[in-house]
Structure 1
Amino acid sequence: MTLKNRILWLFAAATLLPFLFTCFLSYNTITSILDKKLTSGIQNNLKQVALSLENTLSNLNHVSQQLAFEGNVGRQLEEFMTANEPYDRSYLTDQIKYQLNLITFTNPNIGLTMYYFQEDGSFLFENTGVKDSFAVGKLPVLSSYYGITYFGPHISNDRFNDQYVLSALRKVELPEREDAYIYIESGFKFTQSILDLDGISKHTYHLILDNSGRIAYSELGHVFPENSLFPQLRAPSSTSGSTSGFYWYRQVSNQGWSVVSLLSKADYNREKNEWLMQMLFLSLAVVAVSLSIGWLLWRMVYRPLSRFSKEIRWMANNNFNSVAMRTSIPEFGVLLNQFQSMKTQIADLFAEVELKEKRRADLEIEKLLYQINPHFLMNTLDTAHWLAVMNGQQEIDRLVTSLNKLLYYNLRKGDSLSTIREEIDSLKQYLILQQIRYNFKFDVRLNVKDELLDIAVPRFILQPLVENALYHGLDDEGRIEVEVGMSEGLEITITDNGGGIPEETIAALLANEQTQRHRVGMGIGMNYVKRMLDSHYEGAASLTVTSEIGIGTRIVIRLPFKEADK
């Protein structure tokens, strides 16, 4: 990974991980709080609803007991049923109505009250008008025990009331009739009492189940129709669960019926979803801020590093020019200043090494020149020349004369430059000496255009290369060709038909160890020529050697054009 990516990732991780951990803990906390809040609120609401229903049914039970046979009104009803005289029946009717009105007046939660005879569907002594559609068999049974049946919420049978009510049907023990019942309805607004108990109830729906789990009342008839079994009531003791996109909670009454509150999962998770959306937006903001800060940090680090990289590339290309660099970060400023100081020192060191190398090359040449005293050699060879002439030794005279000219050219002091003409003349003297020295014949051909004879070249570059040709496999049929021409610059080619030179030998001839082995004498070799060219032309000249075993060797020197000094 690049430094930029590492900074962005590390900064994002250092920022986001604590934030995400905090979000995780807060999510669990708020989930626990909301769950407890909603569950507690719904359960409290259920208890209030169940308590209200129980109180209502208890009141219906109490009133129905007063109106049954055991009570005073029940005895008057028995007398009414057995009376034959109109006067007695009228009197008893007034008494019974009076008792009914007194009971309903003292119990404001009581609504429609009447005696009902199941066999013929007739009713007597109703305290208000009864709807024509009244039928006990159509009412939703909530529970039934001990001779009394409770009906779940239903529309009142009071002609003038369309509110939901609870009702009870109690059997009246009459000697003459076995189908007599007292029918009583609650008189309060039941629906509003369920829906308006607390703030949570506005998001909930209610079911009322009878003792067997059948739905006696439903506020969500399209999902949980009445007179159907509640599907999720797997065990009588179940108090909560989920079904059809709703969470449900159940409160069981003492009589065995139960109230179920339904809360949609969307409403249940509303507050959590709102919190999650807020956390999402906050997370995006934190990510954006973290990445922005990471990018700014990277920019602060990148600019000095980019400058460092540029300076290193310049230094790799031998550009040691110092340029003042500024940065707003003190630590990088110190590093940049130290780098500038180091670059200056390296540049000075390079210049010093280069100067020392140049001086060392010059000293080696001077050392070679001074190893033999030129004047002593010249005088001695001149004496030998005259002795040979006086004694008629023409071969010795020729040898000494060529050697004298060659040494004079090679060992003379002063300017290191020469001309092609002087190099060719020196080479001819060298070849005369070698032809006298060796016991085999070889042919040397020199091909130089006249207009190139006065071109300046470094002194002593042809002889070492021809010497290499003689040393490496030349025989009686040997041939050496020296050609000087012009291409993109001055081009000197030396070709022979000798035995060839292996590649590793060529590499050794161009390497420094050859110079170490040939510090004196004439065997300076190709390494000397290569170093001389590098010294004079600073890399603008080239020396290439190609050779094939058994075929010969070809050496090419390419020099930039340089006029001879006048």
Structure 2
Amino acid sequence: MTLKKRIFIIFLFSSLIPFISIGLISYYTIYSLLTNKIQSGIQSNLKQVELSLENTISNLNHVSQQLAFQGTVGKKLDQLLGANQPFERSYIADELKNELSLVTFTNPSIGLTMYYFKQDGSYIFENSGVKSNFSLDTMPLLAQYYGISYYGPHISNNRFDNQYVLSALRKVDLPERDDVYVYIESGFRLTQNILNNNQFGGTVSHLILDNDGRIAYSEVTDAFPRDSLFSSFAGGEKSGSLHGYLWFKETSNQGWSVISIIPKVDYNKEMNRWFVQILLIALLFVAISLLLAWLLWKMVYRPLNNFNKEIKLLAQSNAQPGLVRTKIPEFDYLLHQFREMKEQIWDLFAEVEQKEKRRVDLEVEKLRYQINPHFLMNTLDTVHWLAVMNGQSEIDRLILSLNKLLYYNLGKLGEIATMEEEIDALQQYLTLQQIRYDFQFDVKIEVEEAVLKMPIPRFLLQPLVENALYHGLNDEGFIRVNVARLQSCIEISIRDNGTGMSEETIQSLLNSQKVESRKVGMGIGMNYVKRMIETHYGNDAELRIDSVMGQGTTVFLNLPIREEI
């Protein structure tokens, strides 16, 4: 990260971290206060609405009990319906009217009251005019239990009142008639005043749910239509979010519920106002921090720029350009130290490169000298005994093959040969071994013609075949050498049916960096091949050994095809 970025970031963090910390603490504190205040107001208002509605319903129930058969008024109705004499009927009717007037007078929260005959839809003793379209089927059922049904809120059936009311329908249970009911409504504007009680200050609407969670009353019919189910009723939650509204619920003892719903915009209005103010102040702090950072950057930009140009020039080559001064003592001193360090690094690079090259060449040459003198001494010893025991023709054949093989193997270190020359040297080696041991080896070599002219490092196949001869060949054994082109590489496989090797031995041969002196064939030859392909191909070549104890061993060598190596 550049110094410029660091200066800007430090200034931003130094100014914003305290502000953000204070802002977050203030935000959560104010959010908690506002949320508790708003929710407390809503819950308090909702509880008052629920209690007021519950009291109204209880009052309707109390009054309906007086008008039922068990009450004094209900018994007079039974006498009226059973009277046959006109005078008696008139007397009982007057008493009923007086009783009803007394009941309604002593209960000012009661509105329309009457006896309703469900069979023919008629009604008597109504205390006010009844609308002509009065029908129980059109009123929303709120709850129903113990022989009484509660409706509402709904528009009053009083001809002179269009306010929302709660109503109750109770069966009179007369001995002689089964279709007589008491119908009672709450008083003038009582329900409307209850629902309009708002301590929140924002837009609050109400829903009233029946015992099954059906919406019996809705002030927001677009989002919560009447007679639909409130989707969050079954979960038992007391608050939540739905259709862009926040809702809070209170459930009465009778099982019906009152829900206050508030638009999220209104709920978050005060919080959003405070957040906008904090955001504006934060932007002002950011602007001031960036201005201060820019002024500081201008103070150091020019010397830093000169210093940067000097370092780029120094990094391009080993040549030392003229020293550029920055006019800042600290920077000039660092630049001088950098030039001295760069000169030392270039010298170290050259020295390490030379040492590494010499080390690789010496190790490879050491391995080749470890292999060739050993083989040469054994072969010359064989020539000596053949000279004593056999004729000149056999010695000539031996000497000819030996000369060809020695000429190829003792070539210049690192010299490249073709696959054809490598195969010819391998055949000369096998000829010498057959003469030496007087034994016809079952060795078959198959080479694709396409790879004969391809260049490879010399002396790769003989150490691998020699390993197979010494460690994998017996009287009934065989060796198969296959060389083929596989896409962009040369695949060489040398397979025998000897005793095989354990996995531990294979890993030791492939991964060991040291060669034990007593392992003349296997250790030295395999290590030589491994180091040779590492020197010429790096990691592009692959040496792999597959072996099964008692069945044989296969050595795979994959060399990438290159024009020059």
Scaled to the shorter chain, the TM-score interval is 0.5 to 0.7
Instruction: Name the counterpart of 2:184.
Output: 184
SS of corresponding position for 1:222: coil
Q: Is 1:20 the equivalent of 2:20?
A: yes
Seen in structure 2, the aligned counterparts of structure 1 residues 173 and 212 have a Cα distance that, compared at 3 Å, is same
Structure-1 separation of matches of 2:19 and 2:266: 27
> Counterpart of 2:250 in 1: which secondary structure?
strand
Pair 1:103 & 2:103 matched:
yes
CA distance in 2, matches of 1:22, 1:202: 29
Partner of 2:60: 60
Distance, in Å, in 2 between the alignment partners of 1:308 and 1:115 is 104
Distance change >3 Å, CA 195–CA 140, structure 1 → 2? closer
In structure 1, the partner of 2:116 is 116
* Structure-1 residue corresponding to 2:138: 138
| Cα gap change, 1:179 to 1:202, in 2 (>3 Å) | farther
Give the match for residue 507 of structure 1: none
Q: Which residue of 2 aligns with 1:277?
A: 276
The answer on whether the counterparts of 2:156 and 2:163 sit within 8 Å (CA) in structure 1 is yes
Distance change >3 Å, CA 167–CA 303, structure 1 → 2? same
Q: Which residue does 2:72 correspond to in 1?
A: 72
- How far off its partner does 1:109 sit? 0.5
Residue pairs, 1:386-397, within 5 angstroms? none
Unaligned runs of 5+ in 2: 309-320, 333-565
Task: Provide the secondary structure at the position in 2 that maps to 1:200.
Answer: coil
Q: 1:319 to 1:281 in 2, by over 3 A?
A: closer
Q: Which residue of 2 aligns with 1:264?
A: 263
Moved beyond 6 Å, runs of 4+: 303-309, 316-320
Tell me if the contact between 1:240 and 1:250 (Cα under 8 Å) persists in the aligned partners: yes
Q: 1:298 to 1:187 in 2, by over 3 A?
A: same
Indicate how the Cα distance of structure 1 residues 30 and 318 shifts in structure 2: closer, same or farther if over 3 A, else same: closer
Shift of 1:4: 3.9
Deviation track 1:165-217 (CA, whole Å, cap 9, x = no partner) reads 00001110212211011100001424542443233164221110111111110
What CA distance in whole angstroms lies between the structure 2 residues aligned with 1:165 and 1:259? 15
Matched, 1:82 2:99: no
Of stretches 52-61 and 277-286 in structure 1, the one that deviates more from structure 2 is 277-286
The equivalent residue for 1:292 is 291
Contact 1:196 1:202 in 2 (8 A): no
Instruction: Determine the structure 2 residue equivalent to 1:94.
Output: 94
8 Å contact from structure 2 (residues 49, 195) kept in 1: no
1:45–1:201 contact (8 Å) kept in structure 2? no
Deviation at 1:262, TM superposition (A): 1.1
Cross-structure match for 1:222: 222
Deviation digits for residues 455-508 of structure 1, max 9, x if unmatched?
xxxxxxxxxxxxxxxxxxxxxxxxxxxxxxxxxxxxxxxxxxxxxxxxxxxxxx
Cα 1:161/1:176, change in 2 over 3 Å = same
Post-superposition offset of 1:234: 2.5
Q: What corresponds to 2:468 in structure 1?
A: none
Q: Take 2:202 and 2:24, find their aligned partners in 1: how far apart are those partners?
A: 31
**1:256 counterpart letter in structure 2:** G
CA separation of 1:188 and 1:238: change in aligned 2, threshold 3 A: farther
Partner of 1:487: none
CA distance in 2, matches of 1:195, 1:144: 22
Q: Secondary structure at the match of 2:197?
A: coil
> 8 Å contact 2:169–2:182 — kept in the other structure?
yes
Counterpart contact for 1:195–1:202, Cα < 8 Å:
no
Change beyond 3 A, Cα 1:261–1:201: farther
1:171 matched to 2:168 = no
Query: SS of 1:38's equivalent?
Result: helix
Structure 1: give runs of 5+ residues left out of the alignment.
310-315, 326-331, 340-566
**Superposed CA offset, 1:61-95 (max 9, x none):** 11111111111211211111111222222222221
SS of equivalent to 2:84: coil
Residues in 2 aligned to 1:319 and 1:248: alpha-carbon distance in whole angstroms: 73
Q: Give the match's secondary structure for 2:169.
A: strand
User: Please, what TM-score do these two structures have when normalized by structure 2?
Assistant: 0.53
Asked whether the equivalents of residues 153 and 166 of structure 1 are also in contact (C-alpha less than 8 Å), the reply is: yes
Secondary structure in 1 aligned to 2:213? coil
Q: Distance in 1 between matches of 2:280 and 2:97?
A: 71
Question: Which AA in structure 1 matches 2:106?
Answer: T
Aligned equivalents of 2:41 and 2:193: distance in 1? 16
SS of equivalent residue, structure 1 residue 113? strand
Say whether 1:243 aligns with 2:242: yes
Please state how far the C-alpha of 1:39 moved relative to its aligned partner. 2.1
Q: Percent identity?
A: 56
Question: Over the residues paired in the alignment, what is the CA RMSD in angstroms?
Answer: 3.3
User: Aligned-pair distance for 1:267?
Assistant: 1.9
Distance in 1 between residues matched to 2:323 and 2:31, nearest whole Å: 68
Choose 1 or 2 for highest CA Rg: 1
- Structure 1 residue identity aligned to 2:151: F
Amino acid at match of 2:62: H
- The match for 2:151 is 151
Q: Pairwise mapping of residues 479-494 of structure 1 onto structure 2 (< 5 A)? A: none
Tell me by how many angstroms 1:281 deviates: 1.2
